[in-house]
């Protein structure tokens, strides 16, 4: 018996894709080696392009995780304190406080130039 690979079956051959997936790879600014984009005083990057930085692919997931994490952390703290003091309203107050602090953190972290 022979395997599918030995028979020359095209469906079983591994495919290697080395190309970028779409034109986005050619539009990303190059970094200076430490993960930051180098800008000169005139506003031009090291690769000669101008304009604001483009967000990376993980930025959206980071924002969502900050918002959910803030709600869970401060909601949990509010739930524990509310259970200890028998004040049930501390759970939603903690969730709202966590959402507000997480939103402030997102604004401070991702809107800096």
Q: How far, in whole angstroms, is CA 15 from its chain's centroid?
A: 29
How far apart (Å, rounded) are the C-alpha atoms in residues 105 and 107?
5
> Per the confidence metrics, is the pTM higher than 0.95?
no
How far apart (Å, rounded) are the C-alpha atoms in residues 11 and 17?
15
Residue 109 pLDDT greater than 80, yes or no? yes
pLDDT tens-digit series, residues 22-31: 555 555 555 5
Q: What tokens appear for 21 in the block? A: 């997936």
Torsion over CA: 69, 70, 71, 77 (sign): positive
Q: What tokens appear for 34 in the block? A: 């430490």
How far apart (Å, rounded) are the C-alpha atoms in residues 74 and 93?
9
Residue 68 pLDDT greater than 60, yes or no? yes
């Amino acid at each position: 018996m022979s395997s599918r690979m030995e028979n020359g079956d095209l469906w079983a051959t591994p495919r290697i894709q080395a190309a970028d997936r779409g034109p986005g790879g050619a539009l990303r600014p190059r970094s200076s080696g430490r993960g930051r984009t180098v800008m000169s005083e005139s506003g031009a990057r090291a690769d000669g392009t101008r304009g604001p930085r483009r967000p990376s692919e993980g930025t959206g997931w980071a924002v969502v995780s900050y918002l959910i994490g803030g709600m869970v952390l401060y909601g949990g703290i509010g739930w524990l304190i509310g259970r200890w003091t028998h004040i049930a309203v501390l759970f939603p107050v903690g969730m709202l406080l966590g959402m507000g602090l997480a939103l402030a953190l997102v604004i401070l972290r991702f809107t800096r130039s």
